[in-house]
Amino acid sequence: MHAIWSGAIGFGLVNIPVKLYSATQESSLDLDMLDKNGHANIHYARINAKTGKEVPWANIVKGYKYNDGYVVLTDADFEKVSPQKSKMIDINDFVKAEEINTTFYDTPYYLSPTKGGERAYVLLREALKQSGKIAIGQFVLRNKESLCILKPQDDVILLQKIRFAEEIRSYEDLGIPKNITVKPAELKMAHSLINQLTPKKFSISKYKDTYDEDLMKIIKAKAKGKKITAPKFKIIHNKSKDLMEQLKASLDTGTRKKAS
Amino acid sequence: METTKSINGIKMAFSHLDKIFWPDEGYTKGDVIDYYNKVYPHIIKYMKERPESLLRMPNGLADKGFFQKDAGLNAPEWVKHVPLHSESAEKDINYIICNDKPTLLYLANLGCIEMNPWNSRLDTLDKPDYFVMDIDPSEQNTFEQVIETANVIKELLDKAGAASFPKTSGATGIHIYVPLGAKYTYEQAKNFANTIAIMTQEQLPDFTSLERTLSKRGKKHIYIDYLQNRKGQTLACAYSLRPKAGATVSTPLDWKEVKKGLHPSDFTMNNIIKRIEKKGDLFSGVLLKGIDMMKCIKQLESK
């Protein structure tokens, strides 16, 4: 695994040096984009809008349009924005997990301690477990202010990005009915249904993405069947066969004449 | 309305240089002469020592122009011309041979927008230097289909072990040239082209045809024309201008370019010189080593 960020958790007077790893991976089939004719791979190019020529990554900078020109920003500039936050996950609050609605949950990451941070890391993890609380912190990831929670999960401290309040929409406009009363009998029936479908121990791994499996079946069948790219030249029409014989005969006499 | 210029020490009179040849674009006869003056070092390789069919269009794109026979008889003394027996005309016809710049510009001044040289040279008149597969789409074909057809032909020629060189026709089609090194007769060249044409048509039965008659072919089929490989039959050569919208040029291509995104209208007399400077002459292989036809046929049969 590649660390995507490194810094420290700032927790009171203690700094816990950590690295951040992505906790998720793509699980869909890897399909390539191809040219319909000849099946060459498609690749993207970054094109200079003026010259139409390709620009290498090394020559690409970021800029902000300001007045009539662009102000170009470098890595150093981004680091200057909030030098503290770009290297530090600042813990501000501790809350109960259920106080944060799942709507706010965004991408999860794993935190691992780096050299010298192991003890403090375990201390924070155990303290969180025992208190039944999660930490709320702020840091800068990829030039973006990020809000997150830190949550113990078995051996690891999970860092889950959460959304800022202004990113969540209201559902007011949806016209969800408010003053409908439900009958106790119906409610009872619903309860018993829920109970029936509640397993003793739930395991999410029983849910599988079968779409990819099904697609793979189609791909295999297609690969076995007729080849789409390379046409077969085996079946030669009698007409071209005759013609080839005729041609060979004429070429033969040609060489014989030359030889004599 | 004459302008006199000295080209290679020959005093030449150019007439009606301001005459509009492309009414939509406003390009003139002067532009045509100018183009051939610039493209001369490249185009001349494909014209030297070859009898030239003259399609004269003195009114530009306004009418269809006319084929001039016996052009050699009216030409100035410094223009090379040879009498060749024509079977269709049943007599000798005086053909112009374009070996130098003054002759090329003389042809342009006659109103030849296109240059149409023979496939064989004077020394080996009965043996063409190459054969041509002419992919000629009908009204309702897409250029993508032309590209697909070209690639099937290329694949077949690859299997045969034959080198091949594509160029845009300058109109809506693609020409594929295969070098023969003046070793085979027109009849053999035509038969080999016919074999490839039949095999190509078998691969793409939905939208290609070998039917020569337009009315029988219909509007949905690309004509794979192998009959251009007959003595005296001509096509616009590499770097020839075409009397088409945009002043397009029959442009040699890299096979890598023969894929979706290729547009024959991209290559015009205004940008072709730059392209040659950048890519070099992609067509020079046509005049180099010819294929071994017997070997090619055996390879085709074995697959």
Cα(B296)–Cα(B159) distance, integer angstroms:
8
Tokens found for residue B237: 């050569």
Cβ of B54: how many Cβ atoms within 10 Å? 21
Does the global pTM surpass 0.80? no
pLDDT of A143 higher than 80: no
Closest to A163 (Cα-Cα) out of A77, A103, A226, A238? A103
A123 lies in a domain? yes
Q: Do A250 and A205 sit in the same domain of this protein? A: yes
Q: Is pLDDT above 80 for A84?
A: no
Cβ-defined contact of A248 to B297 (cutoff 8 Å): yes
Based on the fold, state whether residues A158 and A208 are members of the same structural domain. Answer: no
- 3-state secondary structure at position B291: coil
Is the separation of the CB atoms in A91 and A150 below 8 Å?
Answer: yes
Residues A235 and A128 in one domain: no
| Amino acid in position A237 | H
pLDDT digits (tens, 9 = 90+) for B118-130: 999 999 999 999 9
B42: closest CA of chain A, how far (Å): 27
Contact check, Cβ <8 Å, A40/B199: no
A66 domain-assigned: no
Same-domain check for residues A13 and A136 = yes
Q: Are residues A147 and A254 in the same domain?
A: no
Whether A48 maps to a domain, the answer reads no
Mean pLDDT value across residues B11-21:
91
State whether residue A233 sits within 8 Å of chain B by CB: yes
User: Which residues in chain B have their CB less than 8 angstroms from residue A234's CB?
Assistant: 303
3-state secondary structure of B246: coil
Q: Do B301 and A251 touch (CB under 8 A)?
A: no
What are the pLDDT digits (tens) for A111-120? 999 998 999 9
Asked if residue A44 is part of any domain, the answer here is no
Q: Do A37 and B259 touch (CB under 8 A)?
A: yes
Domain boundary among A111, A138, A165: A165
Q: Do A15 and A133 sit in the same domain of this protein? A: yes
DSSP states along chain A: --EEEEEEEEETTEEEEEEEEE-----S--PPPB-TTT-PBP----B-TTT--B--GGG--EEEEETTEEEEE-HHHHHHH-TTGGGEEEEEEEEEGGGS-GGGEEEEEEEEE-TT-HHHHHHHHHHHHHHTEEEEEEEEETTEEEEEEEEEETTEEEEEEE--GGGSPP-GGG----S-PPPHHHHHHHHHHHHHT--SS--GGG---HHHHHHHHHHHHHHHS--SSS-------HHHHHHHHHHHHHHHHHHHHHH-
Contact call for A246 and B191, based on CB within 8 A? yes
In a domain, A47, yes or no: no
DSSP letter at B245?
A: T
Q: Which residues of B155-169 are buried (b: 16+ CB within 10 A; e: fewer)?
A: bbbeebebbbbbbbb
Please, which residues 23-42 of chain A have a Cβ atom closer than 8 Å to chain B? 35-38, 40
Task: Please check whether residue A69 lies inside any domain of the structure.
Answer: no
Judge if A202 and A151 occupy the same domain: no
CATH class label, B130-301: alpha beta
* Residue type (1 letter), B207: F
ipTM of the complex: 0.75
Average pLDDT, chain B: 92
The domain of A18 spans 5-25+79-165
Which residue is closest to A233 within chain B, CA to CA? B303
Count of structural domains, chain A: 2
* CB-CB under 8 Å, B202 with A235: yes
Beta bridge partners of A158: A110, A151
Q: How sure is the predictor about B102, in pLDDT bands with cuts at 50, 70 and 90?
A: very high
- Residue A181 domain flag: yes
Give the CATH number of the domain where residue A85 resides: 2.40.290.10
> How many contacts (CB atoms, under 8 Å) link A and B?
67
B2-117 against B130-301: fold identical: yes
Nearest partner of B143 among B295, B260, B30, judged by Cα: B260
**Residue range B44-53: average pLDDT?**
95
Tell me whether A53 touches chain B (CB under 8 Å): no
Q: Answer whether B191 sits within 8 Å of A254, measured CB to CB.
A: no
What pLDDT digit, counting tens, does each position of A12-42 carry? Answer: 778 899 999 999 887 677 788 888 888 888 8
Q: A249 — contact with chain B (CB < 8 Å)?
A: no
Res. B1 pLDDT band, cuts 50 70 90: low
Closest residue to B297, CB basis, from A37, A231, A244: A244
Residues of A in contact with B301 (CB under 8 A): 236, 244
Domain match, A129 and A20 both: yes
Residues A90 and A155 in one domain: yes
Say yes or no: B254 contacts chain A, CB-CB below 8 A.
no
Same domain, A16 and A103: yes
- Are the CB atoms for B251 and B239 separated by under 8 Å? yes
Q: Highest-confidence range of A1-10, B198-207, B279-288, by mean pLDDT?
A: B279-288
Nearest to B238 by CA among B47, B109, B67, B53: B47
Asked if residue A234 has pLDDT above 50, the reply is no
**Per-domain residue ranges for chain B?**
2-117, 130-301
- Contact residues, chain B, for A237 at CB < 8 Å: 198-199, 202
Q: Return the residue in A34, A36, A37, A229 with the most chain B beta carbons within 10 A, the one to mutate for interface testing.
A: A37
DSSP B47: T
Mutate to test the interface with A, among B185, B202, B203, B262 (most CBs of A within 10 A): B202
Give contacts of B189 with chain A, Cβ < 8 Å. none
**A18 located within any domain:** yes
Last residue of a domain, one of A109, A138, A165: A165
* The domain defined by B2-117 carries CATH number 3.90.920.10: yes
Q: Is the pLDDT of residue B269 over 70?
A: yes
Cβ contact B264:B140 at 8 Å: no
Q: Which residue has the tokens 């306004």?
A: B62
